[in-house]
Amino acid sequence: MIAWLVLAVVQGLGGVLAQQGTDLLTQQTLDRRSLNRFNKSHEEHSMCWERHGVDGFLSVIDTHNHFRPFFGPAVPFLTYLEWMIKHGILFSTMFGIGQKIEKAKDSDPDCCYYLHCPTLDYRVVPSMDNDYANADDFTKTYMGNKTLEEAVHLTLSITFPNLQSPAQINKNLNLIESTYEGAFKWAGEINVFKHALASNGFFEDSRVTEKRITAGEYDKLFGTLTVRKWPTTLHCDLGCDNYDAVPVQEDHRNKLKELGCHVPAEEVKAVRSDPQWWTDILGVYYHSFFDKENNPRDNFKKIMHLKVWDTLLSKYPDLKVVWAHLGLSKELKTLHPYIHVHILRELFKRHKNLVADISWDVLAKQLLMNHKSIDLPKSLVEHTDFNTDTNFMVNTSDILEMREELHAKWEVHEDLVSQRGSVSGPSYSMAIYLELFHEFPDRFLTGTDFVASFGKKSNFPGTKNKNGCVKDVPNHARQLTDTSSINMFLDDESFRKIVLGENFFRLTGLSDIYAAPPVCGDTLLPVWGLIVLVVVLLVVVLVVVLLVIFFCRKRDAEGGAFVRVGDNPSATTNV
């Protein structure tokens, strides 16, 4: 009854998501979402954010936003800005993509997405084209346009650096900066390891290694970015456990055709030579990945890049690093949440300038918001990361209780999210990760990982799916809704820092101008909603009381309808 009334009030008195048409937010919500709310010197800044009411929990900041695709046309710049503004985005990075699909033969069909053409005939190669195109739009259309600048704050990023071949990076950086002086303020998304590109040649070239990092191959790039204090988004998969969506076997030339997702022999040798490092960072989870003789188990491939990643972070301790997607991907689905949370916690403790973005709808749909059953999934208690040598246990009762608490909050917002999103509610994993978000509220950022591609099927059929890459308004609404869905579960402090931008402003140096507005309170309704709810409940109670009095008086007038049990032993009660 109470939950139904709460939901009715949220939906009936404005809510956040639009009820009809293609709009994501109501006009009332959009009117309240403005840069003025975040400008410390503006009178609107003191107005508290009704996160479970009219202002909503959808992200206002997109720190992982690709304005350009891998190949083919992008959504026209002004059109895409219109989508973002219409959907309540107030601050955004402006990523390109630092690679383009290069086909081997001119006669081959064009391809706008690498998994539509997963062979070495369509290599994903480094390119500066997207950064130049973005910089043109930023400097010639956005900058100086008062209407746009007052509607959304953009931060332009370089994405071209190729860590596999770093020799020309700084030369190219100086070149593009001299052309667009002062325009760039961010770097990334830059790939360290990206298993999704395995079919398109990523692992055909030399990898990033500890040796290359310690030898200083990246000193010029990361030294420059450190001095300039640019946040730097790095994509570094922790490892892999499947290539289900990456058909490396389709091309006989691919080095991974027979091996699939595996740990190279030279890396296995290096791991065996330094078991203490792995013992220190994995702690109680060490034997999930190593046997008693310190040999890596088969599932070690899930975390095989961890030491390289830690080495890079240690080499450049003052670099502001944003770890994309928490280090996960579709090629890494089954790392136990306990272990992943432990690794994140250890890295946060070791590296003061490391933050992570919770971007990409795959994280929500694959891990955090994919609840399908009321029973605790066997995947958490009968897991591939368990073996006879492990000595940690999953606290199922606590997880069950936490997830039920999250589900109660989800039910209040479920209909609103389902209108535009594709998630199914908080998972048991979400309950585990939420504790980490609350423990380290200063270390996370919001983002969509939307790719604003506009390649028609007829022009970019590829070789596999033949469905083009056209994005539209519902695509953006869905991805923003899915990636924002976890925001509803954050406590007020974490919500203010992660969702309302305190972390983003600190990271970008915008905190002199902008700050997160105060949050009204972590209630399921804003103040006006609570008042309405109380009034509704009082009316219901009053009606019930009046009905009871009416019927009691009526029955008394008819000679009495109630019989005391003590007065008549044969009478019964219906309690």
Cβ pair 304, 242 in contact under 8 A: no
Amino acid identity of residue 456, one-letter, is K
Cβ pair 130, 97 in contact under 8 A: yes
Predicted local distance difference test score (pLDDT) of residue 547: 60
From CA 235, how far away is CA 64, in angstroms rounded? Answer: 11
Q: How do residues 302-336 score in pLDDT, each as one tens digit?
A: 999 999 999 999 999 999 999 999 999 999 999 99
Cβ pair 186, 233 in contact under 8 A: yes
Q: Which helix (H) or strand (E) holds 269?
A: helix 265-273
From CA 353, how far away is CA 313, in angstroms rounded? Answer: 9
Within 10 Å of residue 386's Cβ, how many Cβ atoms?
Answer: 16
User: Tokens 């985005």 sit at which residue?
Assistant: 89
Per-residue pLDDT of the chain (575 residues), as tens digits, is 433 333 333 333 345 666 544 589 999 999 999 999 999 999 999 999 999 999 999 999 999 999 999 999 999 999 999 999 999 999 999 999 999 999 999 999 999 999 999 999 999 999 999 999 999 999 999 999 999 999 999 999 999 999 999 999 999 999 999 999 999 999 999 999 999 999 999 999 899 999 999 999 999 999 999 999 999 999 999 999 999 999 999 999 999 999 999 999 999 999 999 999 999 999 999 999 999 999 999 999 999 999 999 999 999 999 999 999 999 999 999 999 999 999 999 999 999 999 999 999 999 999 999 997 655 666 688 898 999 999 888 888 899 899 999 999 999 999 989 999 999 999 999 999 999 999 999 999 999 999 999 999 999 999 987 889 999 999 999 999 999 999 999 999 999 999 999 999 999 999 999 999 999 975 554 444 445 544 555 665 565 556 655 544 544 444 432 222 233 332 221 22
From CA 58, how far away is CA 26, in angstroms rounded? Answer: 12
Select from 426, 441, 469 the least CA-distant residue to 116.
Answer: 469
Q: How do residues 403-430 score in pLDDT, each as one tens digit?
A: 999 999 999 999 989 999 999 999 999 9
Predicted local distance difference test score (pLDDT) of residue 382: 84
DSSP state of 258: T
Q: Which two tokens stand for residue 254?
A: 């691919």
Phi, psi of 24 (to 5 degrees): -90, -40
Amino acid identity of residue 13, one-letter, is L
Predicted local distance difference test score (pLDDT) of residue 437: 98
Q: Which two tokens stand for residue 365?
A: 């749909």
Predicted local distance difference test score (pLDDT) of residue 535: 58
